[in-house]
Structure 1
Amino acid sequence: MSVSDLIREINKTHSISNNNEKFTALTKLLTILPIENKFITSIYNSTNQVPKNISTLYDEEWSAFNSIVTSFIKFCVEMDPWSALCSFDLLTTYLNDLSIAFNNNTYGWLLSDIIKTTITMVIPIAIKLDYQMFYKEQGGKYRLNYMASIILKIFNNIRINDSNVYKKSIILYLGNKLCFIYWKLDNPLLCLNIFSNMNNTSLRIKEFPMSEQIKYKFYLGKFWFIKNELIKSFENFKFCLLNTSSLKNQKLILEYFIPVSIIVGKVPNFNYLKSKFNGDNSILEFLNLFERIAFLVKIGDFNGYNNLIAENYKYLKSKGILLVMNKIELLIYRNLSCKVWSILGKQPNLNTNLVPIPIPSSIPPQDQIFYKENIFVTLIDTGLLKGKLVKTNLIALSKIDPFPNVFDRYLRAYSNKTGSNTGWI
């Protein structure tokens, strides 16, 4: 099969009237997956001269299509199967030409699946090359940045200009890929742009495959996780966990979901989880650690918790959850106060001097009383303790449920504040 054969097959698709058949036929001819497109290896191995002037029946109404065919053929002829670096520019040129031709209102939709396949193939190559060239290029991650710019251009084209069903079918895929890249670029706040734009479409998330829904909600969960909107994070991770059967995905979700669950007052069933992942040492190490953390939180053991975090500092940092762990400290203070109150007979007032809250050595003696007072004011303000500070060391507790259920309290306070980026869900 030669270039002439490729052009002949492309021209045949021009007369196909059935949209699905036309879409499938052109996708098969221009996909860059060698296993699905025999023209790639055939043209690469061919000794025939490539025609200088390439034209198709689409050119008159779709001028940008010629660039696609030309860059596809150039990729087939000049690619280096043994060097990703040598082939990368050919791939990105092809993808950029696809993004331009995609703007055509009459024929652009035909490229939807080709664009999706190309992006799926090129992103791992970009990551690998950025990693290999990290020191030489001073950590610029230029290829991933370039990929983000192309994908965002395609994403915005669908969002703003087109209601074609084929185009809109890939918008969530593109949004997820952009979120993936933004996290790789250590700039996850850019994901907010994707969330806002998806919310402004006329689409509903249920229109998309469950796999794409899970990815989207996972990125939402991670985003709210770093923004300390932990109820929102909890709900999104919960959706992901309940809707995937993949153990690999479940492990990835649990590494965020479990810390968030403990912070908002929902302790997982660790015995069940450990039995589910029996034999997988990587996740079992994580589960054992957080089972110990959950126990120390429950009994209000601040010193034990601090020591455990110090022992596992590098591990927690490698998981990307170290910074959020300080949110657990407030829950420890709450449980410690509740424990003291119960031991003292659940009296109407709580003497804060009797609550053994450790004072950091960095706090001067004259300021220690204020440090402790600030903790209890914070507990009252967050609703984890219902009462009123009547003296520096005395809290008049509410007669009704002075230590409310943590999860119920957070749910009432934050679940209705869904923000402006979840309406389409």
Structure 2
Amino acid sequence: MAQQLLASLATLTNDEGIDLAEQSEQLAELFTPLLINPTTAAVRASTQNWTDDQISKTVEQAQLFDGGWAGFEQFVSSYIRLVRDFDPFSDSSSFDLVVSTFNDLQVAFSSARGGCLIHTVALWARKVVSGAFQYDREHNLPQRATIEYPTSEYIATPLLRLFNTTRTERSDLEFNRKNIILHLACLLCRVYFHIRQPTLCANVFSNMSTAGISLHGYPKSQQVEYRFYLGKFYWLKSQLKNAYIHLDWSWRNCYTDSRNKRLILKHLVAVSLLLGIIPTRELLEQFSLDGVYGEMVKALKNGNHTRFYAALEQARDWFIDRDLYVLIKSRAFTLLNRGVLKTIYEWSVDQRNPAIPYATVAAGLDFATQHGGYAQQVMAPQMMEGKANLTPTQVEAILVALIDQGFIKGKLQATSQRLIHARTDVFPPISAVLGSRQSSLELKDDEKWMTRIG
């Protein structure tokens, strides 16, 4: 069967009239990852007694591409050795052989003739990434304090080289290596996030913006995945509006029945809350996220610090696992303060009070935190200097911050320690203050290529 494989390869590689895309598809069928290709068992049986030298000499004698492509011969030899030594009962035990073959594939793909391996690279890259994740999971011991990803980190190198080969493609043919650049970009980002090094994605995004491609020419699923990672990347950089733009696009363009719809929403809701875009309870219930976000949404609306942070802490591990915890905890307090002040303002209007004393603000903030007061739950201990209650100066600082950021319209009377609020539109919509209304959101200049057609 090994000889039959080589004969098929010789016929396919020496056919000068074959279309490049067709040749690429047929080669991929011959090199389909193990356990998917039914012919591999027969090839394994026929090569059990072959030495490495015999494999290399037999491949050389097959005269693939008329014997003029040493890199391809090396990949074929590596593939046959992989099939010979592969353990069909355990993918992970043979994964080092898979990675070795993948490295040889990367070298062959980078040559001038590498376009015929486009489909093979796409298949193998996906196989190797998922295999590396599985291998690291199986070899991470429960007693370890930290999780390690040595195999996933290692395969990032050949994967990056493949990506660089596609981005530097200069062919004018319709079928060329850039056909899989988005696929490889998504896999690279998947690896970088998996190994907890998402900042490395910056290089991917930068190179994609100068690759001279149109995103519309690629499968919608790849577009969704790419912009999902871009949204997560901006979230970690605290660029909330940019994060929202990409996560919202991914959410709206993800296939309705895809399980990724919920995955995207987990992150989109977090961004939305901090931008004052409140999801409906029906939406949260539809995607089984009401248990995580439901209480936080209610608390954010009325500025209940205790309720909000209790809900956040209850699902602490869930938020930490998704890199959502820190930013939510650090950014939400300003919006919660606004909610408290709005409640106080509405009460003040009912009482026909033209201004709000600092003491009333302090009492409202303490009430919003219920257990121990605002000073103990929100203010850093070093800021309180051992005091149990907010001082007028600290209340004034909170109000100044809200006014300066545009969350409240009004002015302060320091001598009488009062907030004099505006007569109308005292609390502009959060989305208006933060510029997160749909009409004001747009892609950065270096990302507008994503909407270019043709």
Distance in 1 of aligned mates of 2:99 and 2:28 = 18
2:154 to 126, 138, 146: 146
Aligned residue in 1 for 2:181:
171
Aligned residue in 1 for 2:407:
384
Query: Deviations 1:94-117 (Å, cap 9, x if unpaired)?
Result: 111111111122x20111111111
Preserved CA contact (<8 Å) 2:78 2:101: yes
C-alpha spacing 1:263/1:377, structure 2 compared with 1 (3 Å) = same
Preserved CA contact (<8 Å) 1:198 1:424: no
Aligned residue in 2 for 1:73:
80
Distance in 2 of aligned mates of 1:372 and 1:271 = 37
Q: Which amino acid aligns with 1:210?
A: K
- Tell whether 2:303 aligns with 1:300: yes
C-alpha spacing 1:26/1:130, structure 2 compared with 1 (3 Å) = same
Is the deviation greater in 254-263 or in 352-361? Answer: 352-361
Aligned residue in 1 for 2:266:
255
Q: Which amino acid aligns with 1:66?
A: E
C-alpha spacing 1:193/1:373, structure 2 compared with 1 (3 Å) = farther
Q: CA deviation at 1:69?
A: 0.8
Q: CA deviation at 1:240?
A: 1.7
1:213 to 211, 216, 223: 223
Q: Which amino acid aligns with 2:150?
A: Y
Alignment TM-score, normalising by the size of structure 1: 0.88
Is the deviation greater in 143-152 or in 233-242? Answer: 233-242
Aligned residue in 1 for 2:128:
122
C-alpha spacing 1:348/1:182, structure 2 compared with 1 (3 Å) = farther
Distance in 2 of aligned mates of 1:216 and 1:66 = 34
Distance in 1 of aligned mates of 2:277 and 2:26 = 51
Q: Which amino acid aligns with 2:8?
A: E
Q: CA deviation at 1:179?
A: 0.8
Q: Which amino acid aligns with 1:377?
A: V
1:234 to 233, 236, 244: 244
Q: Which amino acid aligns with 1:226?
A: L
- Tell whether 2:340 aligns with 1:336: yes
- Tell whether 2:414 aligns with 1:424: no
C-alpha spacing 1:289/1:99, structure 2 compared with 1 (3 Å) = closer
1:360 to 353, 375, 384: 375
Q: CA deviation at 1:399?
A: 5.2
Distance in 2 of aligned mates of 1:121 and 1:127 = 10
Distance in 2 of aligned mates of 1:215 and 1:227 = 19
Q: CA deviation at 1:122?
A: 1.8
Distance in 1 of aligned mates of 2:399 and 2:445 = 33
SS where residue 341 of structure 2 aligns? helix
1:94 to 88, 101, 116: 101
Q: CA deviation at 1:420?
A: 6.1
Describe how 1:25-64 pairs up with structure 2 within 5 A.
25-35=26-36, 37-46=37-46, 50=50, 51-52=54-55, 53=57, 54-55=59-60, 56-58=63-65, 60-64=67-71
Aligned residue in 1 for 2:111:
104
Aligned residue in 1 for 2:210:
200
1:402 to 426, 429, 432: 426
- Tell whether 2:165 aligns with 1:157: yes
Q: CA deviation at 1:174?
A: 0.8
Preserved CA contact (<8 Å) 2:227 2:250: yes
Preserved CA contact (<8 Å) 2:48 2:84: no
Describe how 1:279-294 pairs up with structure 2 within 5 A.
283=288, 286-294=289-297
Is the deviation greater in 159-168 or in 139-148? Answer: 159-168
C-alpha spacing 1:81/1:208, structure 2 compared with 1 (3 Å) = same
Alignment TM-score, normalising by the size of structure 2: 0.83
Query: Deviations 1:334-368 (Å, cap 9, x if unpaired)?
Result: 12212222222287754443222233233133973
SS where residue 402 of structure 1 aligns? coil
Q: Which amino acid aligns with 2:273?
A: I
C-alpha spacing 1:289/1:26, structure 2 compared with 1 (3 Å) = closer
> What's the C-alpha RMSD, in Å, of the aligned pairs?
2.7
Please, which runs of 5 or more residues in structure 2 have no aligned partner? 367-373
Q: CA deviation at 1:205?
A: 1.5
Query: Deviations 1:132-158 (Å, cap 9, x if unpaired)?
Result: 323499854221111101100111111
C-alpha spacing 1:65/1:311, structure 2 compared with 1 (3 Å) = closer
Q: CA deviation at 1:87?
A: 1.3
Distance in 2 of aligned mates of 1:325 and 1:229 = 13
Preserved CA contact (<8 Å) 1:88 1:125: yes
Preserved CA contact (<8 Å) 2:248 2:268: yes
Q: CA deviation at 1:47?
A: 5.9
Distance in 2 of aligned mates of 1:315 and 1:48 = 49
Please, which runs of 5 or more residues in structure 1 have no aligned partner? 278-282
